[in-house]
Amino acid sequence: MDLTSLPARKIRALLAKGEIRGADLLDALEVRIAAVDPVVNALPTLCFERARERMAGLEARPDAERGLLGGLPVAIKDMTDVAGVRSTRGSPIFADHIPAASGHLVQRVEGQGGVVYAKSNTPEFAAGAATFNEVFGATRNPWNTALSPAGSSGGSAAALASGMAWLASGSDIGGSLRNPASFCGVVGMRPAPGRVPNGPAANPYATLSVDGPMARDVDDLALLFDALCGHDPREPLSLDSPATPFAEAAARRTKPRRIAWSRDLGVTPVDPEVAAICEAAARQFEAMGVPVEEAQPDLSDAHLVFQTLRAHDFATGLGPLLETNRADIKPELIWNIEKGLALTSAEIGRAERARAAMVAGAATFFDTYDLLLCPATIVPPFPIEDRYVARCEGTEFETYIDWLAIVFAITNISHPALSLPCGFTASGLPVGLQMVGKARGEAALLSAAGLLEDALALNHLPIDPKVA
């Protein structure tokens, strides 16, 4: 039995029945990583000795006491500390950092019986949607190793697609769970702020950046999401878990009442092939009897809001490092921090008022529509040498994050959103559909995503890397 090709929920069931042991899973991962990661470079830091110790401790208990994950291995994005494991944040400043304590997300994963065995690659401080850094180099897309897996959770997405992970964590501020999911043909979800613990943080009241789950399909993602969710008294925005588990809600496959489709959210150019693939997937709901109408909320201030508030967050979190370690920080990040440090109170106030108006408009919009569908990325995977997308359909982008407007427009309104694999380009590259739910509406979003996933029938993972 090829364990790495099975769904995570099937692995969990086999563990519960005692038909496989945790050591079998770790053995299978070690073999797969040795065969694949020299080409992909998704999991540069491994901690199998630590994983085996923790797995042994779990297996000493009855299954009912092993938590929701019950021994499932989980890869952790290298933005979250894991106690005793090299945790670099993709930065030369932290190249040799070995923390004494784990981040809140890892504590939650391990408290639910997850076993951390690897850290996944990320761009420096998760800044930018291309996964490369000066510590570990670039991660490559398993669908074509000459191309980028996007970012910033590119290591997690590439590991999932290539059979080096069943479940993985990621984070998202400007689409960092959704972009790599789209480029690698996996599922990545940005939940509502407060759903998943993401501390300790420099600003625990910030809502642009969240942590969330990644998996190969919707049901596996819902399983991990349930394990990640729950109130954390150390985080002031933290939400309680719902009475009905997200995995149960996802399994119901409930049809939405009415859906909105938008090619570009009114904020960005989009590659025509990508738009056509996404619209064809969105129209699948019409065959189920669900009306799909062209509509979108007013997100026209998306660039102003995101550029301002993101820069403010970067200045808050990374400003002190710029003072002490400027030579070790990449130029795009220096620009972003300095932009934040130069902001005036008037500029921040203007952005906050514009964001409030967008949130109010979105609430009214979602009184009519259950879902908003659009592309998750505006282009197919791009060459590994490119640091970011500089142009699309004749539009030249001014900054390294302008090409991400189709995802950061949704970040601004704090609605949950996921990228679902929805088709392939003529050259065989995956494309993701962004599915946006009502505020804190992850349960209905997952249910509808599972319904569309079944209709599209694109379950093809994991793959062997296609070496360019």
**How buried is 344 (Cβ within 10 angstroms: 0-12 exposed, 13-18 middle, 19+ buried)?**
exposed
Active-site residue, selected from the candidate residues 77, 119, 330, 438 = 77
Q: At what angle do helices 218-228 and 8-17 cross, to 10 degrees?
A: 70
* Cα 165 to Cα 156: distance, rounded to the nearest angstrom: 8
Active site residue 300: no
Q: Is the peptide bond before 200 cis (omega within 30 degrees of 0)?
A: yes
Active site residue 77: yes
Q: Coil, strand, or helix at residue 419?
A: strand
N-term to C-term CA, the chain: 29
Question: Please, which residues bridge with residue 133 across strands?
Answer: 137
Active-site residue, selected from the candidate residues 87, 120, 152, 171 = 152
Q: Cα separations (Å) of 380 from 90, 277, 375?
A: 24, 11, 11
**How buried is 300 (Cβ within 10 angstroms: 0-12 exposed, 13-18 middle, 19+ buried)?**
middle
Q: Cα separations (Å) of 140 from 32, 44, 181?
A: 16, 12, 13
Active site residue 171: no
What DSSP assignment string belongs to 233-301? TTSTT--PPPSS-HHHHHHT-PPPS-EEE-SSTTTS---HHHHHHHHHHHTHHHHTT--EEE-----TT
* Cα 374 to Cα 432: distance, rounded to the nearest angstrom: 9
Six-digit token pair at 437?
A: 């739910």
Number of neighbouring beta carbons within 10 Å of residue 426: 8
Q: Coil, strand, or helix at residue 329?
A: coil
Give the largest Cα separation in the chain, rounded.
62
Q: Cβ distance 239 to 195 under 8 Å?
A: yes
- Would you give the DSSP letter of residue 47? -
3-state helix, strand, coil in the chain (%, to 5): 40, 15, 45
Q: Is the peptide bond before 462 cis (omega within 30 degrees of 0)?
A: yes
Q: Tokens 């106690």 sit at which residue?
A: 83
Q: Coil, strand, or helix at residue 435?
A: strand
Q: Tokens 């570990």 sit at which residue?
A: 136
The amino acid occupying position 76 is I
Q: Tokens 């995956």 sit at which residue?
A: 430
Active-site residue, selected from the candidate residues 91, 120, 153, 176 = 176
Residues taking part in catalysis: 77, 152, 176
